[in-house]
Structure 1
């Protein structure tokens, strides 16, 4: 049994809130493109937008502009939110954001209002990356698009009111956390970032290893995919469906950052993990590997709640704590991973 098995014991408040809900979940048999359309037109507006749009302060002042970025075989949009400067020459740190959704669902609109909150509450520029998704675009397209967007930010910082030395963070939830982690590894090896390195990563309940890529030496520590296989917001079946659709090689570090030979030389990482999540153990192991390699880490764990519970059950105390912790974690990264 996993040393973290106790983290799956349901949070009583979550259990009560969940019991009052009708059955949730995707019927994977209807087809991926149909599911994507339902997510974009119905579920995304009813969850992410409905939750975060009312939380944007009415007195918040900022600009929003979409930019086009050339990528291999096409182009993508990045949406840039810039707080209103006190003086015309003011510059800000930056958070480059990759949305979740299993590299299948979601788009630039999913976390739009969440990022407006981050921008105005923390006085940072946010860059929301609309990377291309499966099944139309399989491995390695989402990862390459994301890294191309990160390089675009490094090369165009001045034009978007960013000073990279004030803070250059990559972040996201779930698949977005995976993309952020992979970008950190790639930036470590890329000459462009030699004099403008990433200063932090924000990894919200990240995917860190392919379901068929568990290293032998860690298999006895990666038990949550089985233990939490029927979690209400993310099941093992859904993860299997996702990886199969992506056609990612199980042992390629590009999609499984846990498998990089070295985790040394990476920027500070803020990591959040849900106890009743199939991804729990791979996230906890990844944080430990970062820490063992000398990376400064800050870890918050939410026992008894599932993947992205802060969106599915925003009224419970654990979700309120999650939101407050996130802002504190981002402040910690902006302070260079040092005690505030």
Structure 2
């Protein structure tokens, strides 16, 4: 284990409560709401860290918008850099937050995304997709894909140039959604004129173990190896998936199972060395590379899933932040 993380973790408490709340949650109970409250507490160090480093308010604008989805509405938060040139346009990243498909909201990455927007001069559309168990699979995915289409359709009014870059990004469950959206968009005539140009993927889930093809099973060891965590355990992950309740072999939850990955957008993928989902990320990078998709990866040894949300000041967490920015720069450079 990374010694700096181990020291920080040994001085911290509260993660057992998060796990207990999620692990005990079931449809129709208030324990899901307890889990959401605990999850907000768990990411608060990251929220505070990036809030303290926000760029001046004059350098960007933020506006929440309601968009129509499947007889309902969801909220998206649009972050746009400011410019003295009123005709200036920006590339865009559509972002999906993490939280096991059952927790999380726009605020957990809000300050981080504002800083990213200004530094890289990129518009960001942060999507508040609906959560399980109240909205089981594929509601959250459908919401997210609708937001992706909405972004493409609103490009001119948002001062977006899709030709400069049209990236999908996400963390954990949000990374799963981002990978699936990238694959769906590849095959959708709607996106033929404005394809996705990059995937920014952090600690993704890409395959249910029970649905893993035989040829990859020997490479999916981390789920057993790090089943007891810390921060994320196999049991908690399984409970989150149970509340989402998708068919395990559906490529829209297990994107490793798409028949072909050729033609997918280039991907920047990060993962953690002591994460049950470590090998998901490795496999996603492998299948994309085998399909001649450009891929870059970064691994953070000795740390568990989501460590940078709760311990944002340790060295590896700051490296994740910097690598994320450099990875996005790489994706944007390849979009032209």
TM range (shorter): over 0.9
Give a deviation string over 1:173-209, Cα, whole Å, max 9, x none.
1011101100010001111110100100000011111
Shift of 1:66: 1.1
Distance 1:142 1:202 in 2: 19
TM-score normalised according to structure 2 size: 0.94
CA drift of 1:29 comes to 2.5
TM-superposition CA deviations, 1:231-287 (whole Å, max 9, x none): 111110111101111111010001111111111001110000100000001110110
Which position in structure 2 is the counterpart of 1:35?
Answer: 34
248-257 or 109-118, larger mean C-alpha shift: 109-118
Secondary structure of residue in 1 paired with 2:157: helix
* 1:34 CA displacement: 2.7
**Which residue of structure 1 aligns with residue 102 of structure 2?**
104
Distance 1:60 1:12 in 2: 40
- Tell me the distance in 1 between the aligned counterparts of 2:113 and 2:315: 22
Instruction: Note the aligned Cα RMSD (angstroms).
Output: 1.6
Secondary structure of the 1:324 match is helix
How big is the shift at 1:60? 5.2
Alpha carbons 1:296, 1:337 under 8 Å: kept: no
Gap change, CA 1:59 and 1:65, over 3 Å in 2:
closer
Tell me the equivalent position of 1:7. Answer: none
1:67 maps to which residue? 65
* Aligned residue-pair number: 328
- Does the 8 Å contact 1:210/1:250 carry over to 2? yes
Match of 1:235 in 2: 233
Instruction: Name the counterpart of 2:194.
Output: 196
Structure 2 equivalent of residue 208 of structure 1: 206
Corresponding position of 1:268: 266
Structure 1 SS opposite 2:174: helix
Q: Contact 1:39–1:105 at 8 Å: present in 2 too?
A: no
Counterpart position of 1:15: 6
Q: Please, which moves more after superposition, 72-81 or 311-320? A: 311-320
Q: Is this contact kept in 1: 2:88–2:159, CA < 8 A?
A: yes
TM-aligned CA deviation for residue 86 of structure 1: 2.4
**Distance (Å, rounded) in 2 between the aligned partners of 1:326 and 1:302:** 12
Question: Structure 1 residues 60 and 309, CA, compared in 2 at 3 Å: closer, same or farther?
Answer: farther
Residue 36 of structure 1: how far off its partner (Å)? 4.2
**Structure 2, unaligned runs of 5 or more:** none
Distance 2:222 2:255 in 1: 18
1:77-97 deviations in whole A, cap 9, x for unaligned?
111011112211110000100
**Cα distance 1:337–1:90, how it changes in 2: closer, same or farther (>3 A)?**
closer
> 2:141 aligns to what?
143
Aligned-partner Cα distance in 1 for 2:239–2:147: 27
Contact 2:199 2:265 in 1 (8 A): yes
SS at match of 2:218: helix
Q: Is the 8 A contact 1:85 1:91 kept in 2?
A: no
Distance 2:210 2:72 in 1: 31
